[in-house]
Amino acid sequence: MNIIEELHQKNLIFNISNNQDLIKKINEKSISLYCGFDPTAESLHVGHLLPLLVLRLFQKCGHKPIVLIGGATSLIGDPSFKEKKREDICFEVIKIWEKNIVTQIKKFLNFNHHCNSALIINNYEWFNEINLLTFLKDIGKYFSINSMINKESVKKRIQRIDQGISFTEFSYSLLQAYDYFFLYKKYHTILQIGGSDQWGNIVSGINLIRKKLNKQVFGLTIPLFIKSNGKKFGKTESGNIWLDPKKTTPYEFYQFWMNITDSEALYFANILNITSMHEVNTFQKKDKNLIIEMKKILAKEITILVHGKKEYTIAKNISNNLFSNNIIGLEESDFQCFFTNSSIKNIPIFYFKYVDNIQLRKLLTEVKLSTSWKHASNLIVSKGIKINGKIESNSNYFITCKDVLFKKYTILCKGKKKFILVKWI
């Protein structure tokens, strides 16, 4: 099956230019394609996974993927569909972020694969040497202000009196178009891919190459991975799931994939070839348990891809034991993970000096699982509290040494998912 047909089948194409011509080119020989990533944050996030996975699919089909790091364009800032101007970032910070992002990208692609080895390049290399007057004369003349201000990606910003758009941001599409022009000339790159919010910028590049070189190139955009609140994942947006373990721990990353919707899980499973379209339809019609099993496989594959097998194993072990109330199944090394960079940040840790026979009601109030001793008593009597995975219904219960694991730890749980870790010192 042709890669374009496969992407259509996987619902991975939002927009595409000259679909049949592109299929014909791909059927004739392997192509060079690229996707750009601006280092405007210290890490990529899950919103970047789709373009990375598409690049990965192209490479597996024998095509050459090029990753463009926007060392120059990140100094400008892409205004596409942004509600306000991005804060300026200094060059020194961008250089640090570039290194982080390159490290993350290298996990997805093969850089030692003979003729179609992946390539990473930085557009600062050529923009740093371009003369402004030459750029305006040779490139700017191909762009119509009329069409630029009518692009949906910037129209809303232009119409906002409180924000507007600076000339710096407005020029971004020219720079991205020139990237495509440069890559076509140097590597004969004939396809640019990106998120659906990049369509306007991609078309600018296609038009520049057509007008200046009289050559046909192509563009393809991928649906955005949208948050549950309807907003896209973005480096300047809150509530992101990052690929950097210091910003989103492997445990949180693993849990994110375990808790996505069934339709999202089926979508990503199909992309990663965990399941076929036929199996997707089968899953949708069958038992809910099949979906859960598929989510486990999906969470495993993506967590290993991003964080490695060791971090996946730790995340899975902690997750399985916590949510099955099998706390005694946790190893001492698992508890130590709560205190490292790979710690489980959404499980609060409280430190207490150990004294034998501590009243449970008092402890629940101290760790803020209850608002008062009376509230704590009600929670306990209603079987809403677990100590190391076991329900305790005696409101006069006292914590003793048998409730302390590895002579250091006690895990309290309110309801099904509200965990607290107590470390005794």
Among candidate residues 40, 104, 192, 221, the one labeled active-site is: 40
Do residues 169 and 85 touch, judged by C-beta distance below 8 A? yes
Q: Is 336 a catalytic residue?
A: no
State the SS3 of 334-396: HHHHHHCCCCCCCCCEEEECCCCCEEHHHHHHHCCCCCCHHHHHHHHHCCCEEECCEECCCCC
Crossing angle between the packed helical segments 277-285 and 262-271, to the nearest 10 degrees: 160
Report the C-alpha gap between 292 and 265 in whole angstroms.
Answer: 9
Query: 82, 295, 386, 414: which is the annotated catalytic residue?
Result: 82
409 assigned ligand-binding residue: no
- Enumerate the β-bridge partners of residue 349: 421
d(CA 71, CA 36): 10
| Cα 279 from Cα 357, distance rounded (Å) | 55
Choose, from 113, 227, 232, 247, the residue flagged as catalytic.
Answer: 232
Q: Which of these is catalytic: 10, 25, 38, 48? A: 48
Q: Is 210 a catalytic residue?
A: no
Angstrom distance (rounded) from CA 376 to CA 367: 11
Residues 6+ apart with CB under 8 A from 99: none
Asked if residue 66 lies in contact with residue 59, where contact means CB atoms within 8 angstroms, the answer is no
- Judge whether 351 is annotated as a binding position: no
383 is catalytic: no
Cα distance between residue 205 and residue 294, in whole Å = 40
Cβ-based neighbours of 9, under 8 Å, separated by 6 or more: 1, 277
Catalytic, 236? Answer yes
Q: Tell me which of 38, 197, 244, 334 is the catalytic residue.
A: 197
Task: For residue 197, indicate whether it is catalytic.
Answer: yes
| Catalytic hit among 10, 25, 45, 63 | 45
397 annotated to a ligand binding site: no
Between helix 262-271 and helix 49-60 the angle, nearest 10°, is 30
**Residue 237 carries which DSSP code?**
S
402 is catalytic: no
Query: Is 249 an annotated catalytic residue?
Result: no
To the question of whether residue 176 is assigned a binding role by annotation, the answer is yes
The amino acid sitting at 68 is L
- Which is catalytic among the residues 10, 25, 64, 235? 235
For residues 38 and 51, give the distance between their C-alpha atoms in angstroms, rounded to a whole number.
13
Task: Please give the Cα distance from 128 to 146 (Å, whole number).
Answer: 28
Tell me how far apart the alpha carbons of residues 201 and 215 are, in angstroms, rounded to a whole number: 18
Exactly one of 236, 261, 282, 371 is catalytic; which is it? 236
Given a contact cutoff of 8 angstroms between Cβ atoms, the answer to whether 110 and 118 are in contact is yes
Query: Annotated catalytic residue: which of 86, 307, 361, 386?
Result: 86
* Beta pairing partners, 47: none
- Dihedral of CA atoms 362, 368, 373, 378 in degrees, nearest 10, equals -120
Instruction: Choose the catalytic residue: 73, 104, 176, 189.
Output: 176
Whether 303 is catalytic is no
Binding site members for L-tyrosine: 34, 172, 176
Catalytic positions are: 40, 45, 48, 82, 86, 176, 197, 232, 235-236
Binding site members for ATP: 235
Binding site members: 34, 172, 176, 235
